[in-house]
Amino acid sequence: MDVPETMRAVRITAHGGPEVLEPAEVPVPVPATGEVLIRVAAVALNNTDLWTREGAYGVAGDGKALSGWRGPVAFPRIQGADVAGHVVAAGTDVDPRLAGRRVVVDPAVYDADGPDANPVGLMGSERDGGYAQYVTAPAERVHDMTASPLTDDQLAALPTAYGTALGMVERGRLRRGETALVTGASGGVGLALVQIARARGARVLALTSGTKADLVRQAGAHDVADRAGDVAGQVRALAPDGVDVVLDVVAGELVAEAMPLLRESGRWVVAGALGGYDVSFDVRRLYLRNAQLIGSSMHTPAHFALLMDLARRGEVQPVVSAAFPLAQAGRAQEELARRAHVGKIVMHP
C-alpha cells in the first residue's frame, strides 16, 4: 500500500488551553524494528488529553506543577491515546500477517515485559499518538480486531476508558453477586465500568447527574443516584447493607462522604480525581472495617488482552456521543471538557 511522505496532524507545543492545539503537516513516521505503521480510522478523546495539554498531573511534592501524565512532555507532541485503524506498513521482525488488518492499539508504555507489567507512559503523552493520519506502535501492542462486530469509532473508544475500567474491576476483585457503586457514571470510564461490572454479575449502582440517568440505566445500571443530591443518603436507601466495591473516578469530597458506605472488607478503587485530588477522610472507617483503598492506573497487558477478547465477541458496546474531524480538535476537546455528553467523543483524521 502506498504511504505518503507527509500527513496532517494536530500537535501541542506547550501546556495551555485549546489554543495550543496546532494543525501541522509533518512527516509520516517510519516504523522501527518491531513496530507497525497504522492508518488511523478513528481516535477517541480522553480526560488524559485535557490534563496532558493543561499540564495538570503535577509532580511528587508539587501537585500544582505543570506536567504530563508521568513527567515533563517533550514538545511538540501529537496527542491521542486511543487508536483504531489499519496496518499499512511494518518494520523488521514483525508478523507479516498483520498487514491490512483492522487493529486497536494498547496505548500503554509498560515498565517491564510480561502480562502483569504496570503502565509508566502513554501514547499521546510519552510518545506521539493518534491525532494524525498515521501513527506507529509496537507490534506486540497491536491487537487484530478485524472480526469484531464493533465499528471503528467504538473500537477507538475502548483502550483508555475500557482498559482503565477493566483494570479497576480486576484490582477491586469485583465478584458476581456483589454490589458496586460507580461514580462519574456518564463519562467514558464510568459507562465502561457500568457495562463491565454488570457483565460480571454485580449489582450496579451509578452516580451521575439526573439528566443523564436514563442513558446510564440503558448502559446497564440497576439503580442511579443523583450526584447533586444527598449521595450517601441515596445510596443507603438503595443499598441498606452497604456496597462491596466503589469504582471511583471522582474522588474529592465524595471519599469522606461515602467511605462509611463500604461493607466489611470493602474495596474503594480510585482511578481519577474529577472532584479534586486533595482528599481527607476518617481513616477509622477504613481500618475498622478491614477495607482497602486501591489506586488503579490504567491496565496491564493481561487486562487489555481480556478487553480485546470481550470486544471481539461484542460483549461490550461503547457509546459514541459525537464525532469531529481532526481539524476541529480544539472544539472536540472543549466539548469533552463541558461534560454535557454521555459516552465517548471521537475524531476522524
Q: DSSP letters of 297-349?
A: -S--HHHHHHHHHHHHTT---PPEEEEEEGGGHHHHHHHHHHT-SSSEEEEE-
Q: What is the mean pLDDT of the chain?
A: 94
Mean pLDDT value of segment 198-216: 93
pLDDT of 216 > 90? The answer is yes
> Is 104 in contact with 145 (CB distance < 8 Å)?
yes
Look at residue 339 in the predicted model and tell me its pLDDT: 87
The model's pLDDT over 34-68, given as tens digits with 9 standing for 90+, comes to 999 999 999 999 989 999 999 988 777 776 778 88
Mean pLDDT value of segment 217-241: 94
Look at residue 341 in the predicted model and tell me its pLDDT: 86
Look at residue 274 in the predicted model and tell me its pLDDT: 85
Look at residue 70 in the predicted model and tell me its pLDDT: 82
Our measurement of the distance from residue 72's CA atom to the centroid of its chain's CA atoms, rounded to an integer in Å, reads 21
Look at residue 1 in the predicted model and tell me its pLDDT: 67
Residue 133, number of CB atoms within 10 A of its CB? 19
Q: Which amino acid is at 201?
A: G
Share of the chain above pLDDT 90, in %: 85
Cα 115 from Cα 129, distance rounded (Å): 23
Cα 308 from Cα 227, distance rounded (Å): 32
CA distances from 22 to 32, 208, 333 (A): 26, 34, 13
Cα 86 from Cα 105, distance rounded (Å): 10
Mean pLDDT value of segment 146-162: 97
> Is 157 in contact with 346 (CB distance < 8 Å)?
yes
> Is 89 in contact with 3 (CB distance < 8 Å)?
yes
280 by Cβ neighbours in 10 Å (0-12 / 13-18 / 19+) ranks as exposed
**209 Cβ contact list (under 8 Å, min separation 6):** 186, 226, 227, 228
What the block records as the C-alpha cell of 302 is 493481561
pLDDT of 203 > 70? The answer is yes
Look at residue 66 in the predicted model and tell me its pLDDT: 83
Q: Which of 307, 313, 310 is nearest to 167 (CA)?
A: 307
Order across the sheet with 6-12: list the strands: 21-27, 6-12, 77-78
Structure pTM?
0.91
The model's pLDDT over 109-131, given as tens digits with 9 standing for 90+, comes to 999 999 999 999 999 999 999 99
